């Protein structure tokens, strides 16, 4: 699959996701009942997975080529949890920064998540979601765009698209950053398996922390009511900025080590010098998809601010 087909695939994903979201909203308003979050998550992931899979099969591409899910060395796999830990300050920094302007989407869903058994949310958010998203974004889309020879451009573009697919500004902000770090891990190992492990560990850690903090959420809420909310966020931004710089620098060093273990250090360090084939990554369907996504995200934020929802 080439970059043109990848652009169309993303457009289909965005349209399918927004259509499902709107239909669900109409149904929820009409019935005054909410869909179980497990089912909601499953359908949302299918709105990404099915269009990508359909366009791959339609054009006769091989999944094994577009999604390199090969084995990685055990030492590399053992370093991935450390890689994820080093990236947490970066995520917290970007998340805190975005919360100065928009609400935290995950926190808003906390009640629905915590109402279900831990194992169900772990499978849904920690395993199933990362598998689908890595298959599509670090597999189908990234590998398709990289056929243009624009390795860095492909990494940045697919990471932005990954953030946009969440359709809210908060998750878009840190999703795009994590997309870049996951893509770099794929380049260091040559396998989407590595980014799936990292993504699954990251999401699973979030689920675990959310359930561990369940008993202290009330205390935290009282504490935040006593202090100015933005003051807390500003302190968090300042502290985690420093930690993010240090953690991300160490994570990049770790990537070089992993690339060395996978016998890909020369390729990994040579990515900035990769020869381009002259193709442009941006196409009309991709621009349409990006415009629709941005319009939706900004429009929803405006509606939330006006209605106070």
pTM exceeds 0.85 for this model: yes
pLDDT at 220: 47
41, 122 Cβ separation under 8 angstroms? no
pLDDT at 246: 97
pLDDT digits (tens, 9 = 90+) for 3-54: 889 999 999 999 999 999 999 888 888 888 888 889 999 999 999 999 999 9
pLDDT at 85: 97
| String of DSSP letters for 80-106 | HHHHHHHHHHHHHHHHHHHTTTS--HH
Q: How far is CA 63 from CA 1, 66, 267, in A?
A: 10, 5, 23
pLDDT at 96: 87
Ranges of the chain with pLDDT below 50: 216-221, 224-226
pLDDT at 148: 81
Helix axes 169-189, 151-164, angle to 10 degrees: 140
pLDDT at 226: 47
């Amino acid at each position: 699959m080439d970059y043109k087909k990848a652009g169309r695939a993303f457009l289909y994903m965005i349209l399918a996701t927004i259509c499902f979201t709107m239909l669900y909203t109409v149904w929820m308003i009409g019935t005054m009942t909410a869909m179980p979050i497990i089912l909601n998550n499953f359908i949302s992931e299918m709105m990404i997975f099915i269009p990508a899979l359909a366009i791959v099969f339609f054009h006769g591409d091989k999944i094994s080529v577009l999604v390199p899910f090969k084995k990685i060395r055990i030492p590399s796999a053992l370093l991935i949890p450390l890689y994820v830990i080093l990236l947490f300050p970066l995520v917290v920094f970007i998340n805190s920064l975005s919360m100065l302007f928009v609400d935290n989407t995950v926190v808003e869903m906390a009640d629905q998540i915590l109402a279900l058994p831990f194992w169900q949310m772990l499978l849904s958010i920690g395993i199933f979601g990362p598998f689908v998203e890595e298959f599509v974004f670090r597999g189908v889309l990234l590998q398709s765009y990289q056929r243009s020879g624009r390795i860095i451009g492909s990494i940045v573009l697919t990471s932005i698209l990954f953030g946009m697919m969440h359709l809210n500004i908060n998750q878009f902000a840190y999703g795009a950053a994590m997309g870049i770090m996951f893509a770099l891990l794929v380049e260091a190992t040559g396998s989407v398996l590595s980014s799936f492990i990292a993504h699954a560990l990251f999401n699973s850690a979030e689920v675990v922390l959310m359930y561990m903090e369940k008993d202290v959420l009330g205390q935290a809420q009282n504490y935040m009511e006593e202090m100015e909310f933005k003051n807390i966020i500003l302190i968090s931004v300042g502290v985690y900025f420093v930690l993010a710089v240090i953690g991300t620098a160490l994570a990049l060093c770790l990537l070089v080590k992993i690339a060395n273990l996978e016998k890909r250090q020369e390729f990994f360090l040579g990515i900035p010098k990769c020869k381009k084939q002259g193709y442009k990554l941006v196409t009309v369907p991709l621009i349409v998809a990006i415009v629709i996504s941005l319009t939706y995200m900004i429009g929803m934020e405006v509606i939330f601010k006006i209605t106070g929802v």
